[in-house]
Structure 1
Amino acid sequence: MHLKVVLTLGVILVCDAKLPRLRQHIEPNHLPSNFAQNSQTARPPQIEIKSLKTSRIVDQYKVRHRRDVFDSKSYESSLIWAHSERLDDNGDVLLRWVNSDSSITFRLEARTRGYVGLGFNSARNMRGADLVVAWVDDRNGNAQVLDCHGPEFDDLAVADEVQNYELISGYQNDTHTTVEFRRQLDTCDKQDFAIGEDTVQVLWALGPEGSDGELPKHVKSGSKPLRLLQPVAKPQVPLKSWDVRLNNLTIPNVMATLFWCKIFKAPDLPKKHHIVGYQPIIDSRPIKNNRLYEKDSSSPVHHMVLYECADDPDKQLWNEWADGDGFFGPNRPSQWATCVTPIAAWAIGSKGEYLPENVGITLGEKGGVSYYMLEVHYDNQALHEVLDSSGIKVYYTPVLRAHDAALLGAGVGVSALHLIPPKQRQYRTVGICSPECTENTMPTHGINIVSVLLHAHGTARKIALKHVRGTQELPIISEENSYDARYQQSRVVPGGRKFVKGDTLITECTYDSTSRDKPILGGYSASQEMCLSFILYYPRTELAGCYSMTPVKEFFETFGVKEFYGLTMLQVENIFLSSGSLENLPPQLETDMQLKYSEETVMQGDDQGVGLMKELVIREPAEFRNKSFMAHLNEMPWSETLLTEQIEKTLYKGMHMTFCKKRDDTWGAPIQIQNYPTYNELKTNETAEKSCHQKSVRLPSVTNTNSSPAKTPSSLAAILAVCTAIIVAR
Structure 2
Amino acid sequence: MYDYFGTSNAEPVQDPQQDVELLAASENEHGTMIVFRRKWDTCDHRDYIIGDDTVFLLWAWGADDPKPGKDNSFHLSYHGSNELSRGAKGIRLTGKQIHWKFPDEEEKYPYGIQQYDFVNSDVQVLKAETYHHCKIIKFPQLQQRHHILATLDILTLYLPPKSHKMVLTPDSREHIHRVVLHKCHIPQFIGLSEESVLENYVDLVGWNCYGAEYPPDLKTYCSHSTVAILGEGYEGFKYPDHVGVEIGDTNAATYYRLEIHYQNPDGLYLIDNSGIRVFYSSTLREYESGLLVTGHRRSPFMTIPPRQAEFNIYGLCSAECMWNGLNPEGTKILAVQLHSHWIGRRAQLRHIRNGRELSPIVVENHLNSNFQDYWLLPREVKIIPGDQLILQCTYETTKNDTVIFGGSATSEEICEAIILYYPKSRLTDCRSQPELFHLQDEFTPVDDAYALESDSDPTFSDVLITSPSKLKNRYLHDYLSRLNWGDDFFSKIVEQKWKNGLHYMHCTGNGGKKIPTSSHVVPYPVYEDYTAPAQEPDKCFKWGTTSASSTVNSMFLISFVFSVRLLYAFQNAIVLHY
TM-score (norm 1): 0.64
Query: 1:524-535 counterparts in 2 under 5 A?
Result: 524-535=408-419
Q: Which one of 665, 678, 682 corresponds to residue 512 of structure 2?
A: 665
Aligned position for 2:375: 491
Give the direction of change, closer, same or farther, for the CA distance of 1:576–1:234 in structure 2 (3 Å limit): farther
Q: Which amino acid aligns with 1:390?
A: S
Distance 1:615 1:421 in 2: 20
Distance 2:338 2:31 in 1: 37
Query: 1:141-156 counterparts in 2 under 5 A?
Result: 145-151=1-7, 155-156=10-11
Q: CA deviation at 1:307?
A: 1.6
Structure 1: 5+ residue stretches without partners: 1-144, 284-293, 581-607, 697-730
TM-score (norm 2): 0.80
Query: 1:697-712 counterparts in 2 under 5 A?
Result: none
Aligned position for 2:448: 569
Q: CA deviation at 1:186?
A: 3.5
Aligned position for 1:309: 184
SS in 2 for 1:377: strand
Distance 1:615 1:215 in 2: 59
Is the CA contact (8 Å cut-off) linking 1:248 and 1:387 kept in structure 2? yes
Give the direction of change, closer, same or farther, for the CA distance of 1:245–1:636 in structure 2 (3 Å limit): same
Which shifted more, 685-694 or 326-335? 685-694
Q: Which one of 658, 667, 674 corresponds to residue 522 of structure 2?
A: 674
Give the alignment's Cα RMSD to 1 decimal: 2.8
Query: 1:69-80 counterparts in 2 under 5 A?
Result: none
Aligned position for 1:74: none
SS in 2 for 1:457: coil
Q: CA deviation at 1:626?
A: 4.2
Q: Which one of 617, 620, 640 corresponds to residue 467 of structure 2?
A: 620
User: Quick check: 1:358 aligned with 2:242?
Assistant: yes
SS in 1 for 2:200: helix
Distance 1:621 1:157 in 2: 58
Deviations 1:102-141 (A, max 9, x none): xxxxxxxxxxxxxxxxxxxxxxxxxxxxxxxxxxxxxxxx
Q: Which amino acid aligns with 2:215?
A: R
% same residue: 28
Q: CA deviation at 1:235?
A: 6.0
Is the CA contact (8 Å cut-off) linking 1:171 and 1:179 kept in structure 2? yes
Q: Which amino acid aligns with 1:182?
A: R
Distance 1:675 1:282 in 2: 40
Is the CA contact (8 Å cut-off) linking 2:11 and 2:78 kept in structure 1? no
Q: CA deviation at 1:412?
A: 0.8
Q: Which one of 248, 254, 257 corresponds to residue 130 of structure 2?
A: 257
Is the CA contact (8 Å cut-off) linking 1:270 and 1:368 kept in structure 2? no
Q: Which has the larger radius of gyration?
A: 1
Distance 1:421 1:301 in 2: 28
Q: Which amino acid aligns with 2:422?
A: Y
Higher RCO, 1 vs 2 (CA within 8 Å, ≥6 residues apart): 2
Aligned position for 2:571: none
Aligned position for 2:99: 232
User: Quick check: 1:165 aligned with 2:16?
Assistant: no
Deviations 1:193-250 (A, max 9, x none): 2323222221223245232662333324644141133433446745421111121223
Distance 1:210 1:266 in 2: 55
Is the CA contact (8 Å cut-off) linking 2:155 and 2:234 kept in structure 1? no
Aligned position for 1:445: 329
Q: Which amino acid aligns with 1:362?
A: E
Is the CA contact (8 Å cut-off) linking 2:154 and 2:230 kept in structure 1? no
Q: CA deviation at 1:502?
A: 0.9
SS in 2 for 1:623: helix
Is the CA contact (8 Å cut-off) linking 2:154 and 2:176 kept in structure 1? no
Aligned position for 2:51: 196
Distance 2:362 2:220 in 1: 29
Q: CA deviation at 1:579?
A: 2.1
Which shifted more, 181-190 or 350-359? 181-190
SS in 2 for 1:618: coil
Query: 1:300-699 counterparts in 2 under 5 A?
Result: 300-312=175-187, 313-314=192-193, 315-330=195-210, 331-334=214-217, 336-339=219-222, 340-364=224-248, 366=250, 368-558=252-442, 560-563=443-446, 568-570=447-449, 573-580=450-457, 608-609=458-459, 613-670=460-517, 672-685=520-533, 687-689=535-537, 693=550
SS in 2 for 1:437: helix
SS in 1 for 2:367: coil
Is the CA contact (8 Å cut-off) linking 1:282 and 1:390 kept in structure 2? no
SS in 1 for 2:148: strand
Distance 1:406 1:690 in 2: 41
Q: Which amino acid aligns with 1:216?
A: L
Deviations 1:586-639 (A, max 9, x none): xxxxxxxxxxxxxxxxxxxxxx52xxx234343422333443323322322211
Give the direction of change, closer, same or farther, for the CA distance of 1:225–1:577 in structure 2 (3 Å limit): farther
User: Quick check: 1:180 aligned with 2:35?
Assistant: yes
Q: CA deviation at 1:368?
A: 3.9
Q: CA deviation at 1:440?
A: 0.9
SS in 1 for 2:477: helix
Is the CA contact (8 Å cut-off) linking 1:208 and 1:218 kept in structure 2? no
Is the CA contact (8 Å cut-off) linking 1:264 and 1:373 kept in structure 2? yes
Q: CA deviation at 1:497?
A: 0.4
Structure 2: 5+ residue stretches without partners: 69-73, 104-109, 157-168, 540-546, 555-578
Length, aligned pairs only: 503
Is the CA contact (8 Å cut-off) linking 1:659 and 1:669 kept in structure 2? no
Is the CA contact (8 Å cut-off) linking 1:358 and 1:403 kept in structure 2? yes
Distance 2:35 2:98 in 1: 21
Q: Which amino acid aligns with 1:261?
A: C
SS in 1 for 2:412: coil
Is the CA contact (8 Å cut-off) linking 1:272 and 1:367 kept in structure 2? no
Distance 1:435 1:417 in 2: 22
Aligned position for 2:147: 274
Give the direction of change, closer, same or farther, for the CA distance of 1:478–1:352 in structure 2 (3 Å limit): same
Is the CA contact (8 Å cut-off) linking 1:418 and 1:521 kept in structure 2? yes
Q: CA deviation at 1:501?
A: 0.8
Deviations 1:526-551 (A, max 9, x none): 10000111101000111111111112
Distance 1:535 1:405 in 2: 10
